[in-house]
Amino acid sequence: MGKSSQLHYLSRLPLLFLLLLQVSTTWAASNSVYETFVQCLSDQTKQPDLISKIVYAQNNPSYTSVLQAYIRNARFNTSSTPKPVIIVTPTNESHVPAAVVCSKKNGLQIRIRSGGHDYAGISYVSDVPFIILDMFNLRSITVDMNEQTAWVQTGATLGELYYSIWKKSKVHAFPAGVCPTVGVGGHVSGAGYGNMLRKYGLTTDNVVDARIVDKTISVFRAERTLEENATDIVYRGRRLLKPTIIAEFLGKADDVVALLGKEFPELGLKKEDVKEMSWIDSVLWWNQNNGTPEFLLDRNPNSANYVRRKSDYVQTPIPKARLELWWVQMRVGWGIVGLQLLEG
């Protein structure tokens, strides 16, 4: 199997399993079910001697630490949060289909966790008896610059992927999200989008190669008040519903200033608003980190916070009058509303 095909296969593993999430039945906790599950895995895999090391029952001393390691939202890390009956942490690809077969045989639902970044904790919470298939051990990345492709396992993070590309080349990149701790598996199976969306499309559109981008990337942060046409700027459909506009342009500062001066004069972008940098530096910039690329290898840079988020797509244009009302609501502490232009 070629490397490009391998990348496609590994990235789609979570999607295959997510289609099975509706399979569940009532289950009563018992040691016999754990033993049956482990025996089933041993029968299904090529490395049966490893099974006891990758399966965690609730009475295992390491169960809690494994469960909490990739919980990114503290709302789902409470005593009342439903817990998995078993956690499976595959170290070999053969463990993955085996876990699917064995969970079905035992009437357990599967939750697949790649990085744990889903808004509602769906990758590690369920209201019926379930197991977690935790993919963090399957995170190898092999970048082939001759083929301009990469093999990326499901449990790798975007940061690890970006770092691996950067170690091989300073003029290559991959179009995906800005948060380095997001898991590749969940990101790709959910389509995935990032700063290079309008140039290279969704992440899933590029799962077989690393696209060549300009060596120099320009990013800018332009803050505008209401008196400086903030509503007009937002109404034009750019970046955020707040007086800070953040963007990325694949090219030189002079080019983006000239382009937006013509196409988006309301912004009033000046060259001093723009910073030129390499692609890997832009990845760090978006994460407000001025350190080295090794920062991207940290799988747990921050502790989980209590957050409530919801993501949706706007089907029809938002009237300008409604945007004016949003300004008022945000002034009284309504929260943050993010608008991102997804059209080409």
pLDDT in tens, 186-216: 888 888 888 888 888 888 887 764 333 344 4
Is pLDDT at 164 greater than 80 in this prediction? yes
Q: How far apart are CA 291 and CA 280, in angstroms?
A: 11
Per the model's pLDDT, the better-predicted residue between 16 and 58 turns out to be 58
Tokens of 167: 């170690």
H or E stretch covering 36: helix 31-44
Q: How far apart are CA 290 and CA 284, in angstroms?
A: 6
H or E stretch covering 277: strand 274-277
Name the pairing type of β-strands 86-88 and 130-134: parallel
Is pLDDT at 170 greater than 80 in this prediction? yes
Q: How far apart are CA 112 and CA 116, in angstroms?
A: 9
Q: Give the list of residues 6+ apart from residue 73 with CB closer than 8 angstroms, or none.
A: 119, 121, 304, 305, 306, 307
Give the DSSP per-residue string, 148-215.
TEEEE-TT-BHHHHHHHHHHH-SSB-----S-TTSBHHHHHHT----TTHHHH--GGGGTT-PPB--S
Is pLDDT at 141 greater than 70 in this prediction? yes
Is pLDDT at 6 greater than 50 in this prediction? no
Q: What are phi and psi of 177, to 5 degrees?
A: -70, 170
Q: How far apart are CA 103 and CA 168, in angstroms?
A: 40
Tally Cβ neighbours within 10 Å of residue 245.
Answer: 22
Average pLDDT over residues 257-281: 84
Widest CA span of the chain, in angstroms?
A: 70
Return the pLDDT at 30. Answer: 52
Return the pLDDT at 239. Answer: 37
Q: Which residue has the tokens 């701790």?
A: 181
Return the pLDDT at 85. Answer: 92
Return the pLDDT at 82. Answer: 93
Do 109 and 157 touch, CB atoms closer than 8 A?
A: no
Return the pLDDT at 125. Answer: 93
Q: Which residues of 134-157 are buried (b: 16+ CB within 10 A; e: fewer)?
A: bbbebbebebbeeebbbbbbbbbb
> What is the chain's mean pLDDT, rounded?
75
Q: What are phi and psi of 206, to 5 degrees?
A: -125, 25
Is pLDDT at 104 greater than 90 in this prediction? no
Q: Which domains does the chain have, with CATH numbers?
A: 13-134 (3.30.43.10), 216-277+312-344 (3.40.462.20)
**Residue 12 pLDDT level (bands cut at 50, 70, 90):** very low
What's this model's pTM, rounded to 2 decimal places? 0.69
pLDDT one-digit tens code per residue, 58-95: 989 999 999 999 988 888 888 899 999 999 999 987 78
Q: How far is CA 53 from CA 38, 48, 60, in A?
A: 10, 10, 11
Return the pLDDT at 133. Answer: 94
Q: What percent of the chain has pLDDT over 70?
A: 72
Is pLDDT at 311 greater than 80 in this prediction? no
